[in-house]
């Protein structure tokens, strides 16, 4: 599975961005997908995950720090997962990564994911 993120950029405080992650392969809809970020000098931080629970149903989870502002979603027709980010703050500045795991086990720990994208830079200016 290859993952390619896009949608990063520079945005002012209070603004919004939508990050996209395009996946290869025909079974991505059954994979767990997650979003993480990493700021300079900091560990990779979990943001949100989407776990397939059967049929067309998914279970979404969020880090407490972003659950009021970020939303994860999927489009199986496009083999993609998205992260909508609102009310952005300077402390949201980081490289944002998409991750995937071919089981329902992908959760909040980076070690639970086998596949990673190259990352996309998000910079929030004050």
Query: Could you tell me the pLDDT band of residue 56, with boundaries at 50, 70 and 90?
Result: confident
Percent of the chain past pLDDT 90, that is, above it, reads: 92
Within 8 A by CB and 6+ apart from 7, the residues are 17, 18, 19, 20, 120
Percent of the chain past pLDDT 70, that is, above it, reads: 99
DSSP 15-70: --EEEEEEE-SS-GGGSEEEEEEE-TTS--EEEEEEEEEETTEEEEEE-TTTTTTE
pLDDT of residue 104: 75
Q: Model confidence over 15-43: pLDDT tens digits?
A: 999 999 999 988 999 999 999 999 999 99
């Amino acid at each position: 599975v290859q993952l390619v993120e896009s949608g990063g950029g520079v945005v002012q405080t209070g603004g919004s961005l939508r990050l996209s992650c395009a996946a290869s392969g025909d079974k991505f809809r059954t994979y767990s997908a997650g979003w993480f970020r990493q700021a300079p000098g900091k560990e990779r931080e979990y943001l949100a995950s989407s776990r397939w629970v059967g049929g067309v149903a998914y279970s979404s989870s969020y880090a407490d720090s972003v659950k009021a502002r970020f939303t994860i979603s999927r489009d199986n027709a496009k083999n993609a997962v998205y992260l909508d980010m609102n009310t952005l703050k300077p402390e949201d500045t980081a490289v944002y990564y998409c991750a995937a795991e071919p089981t329902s086990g992908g959760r909040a720990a980076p070690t639970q994911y086998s596949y990673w994208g190259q990352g996309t830079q998000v910079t929030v200016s004050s």
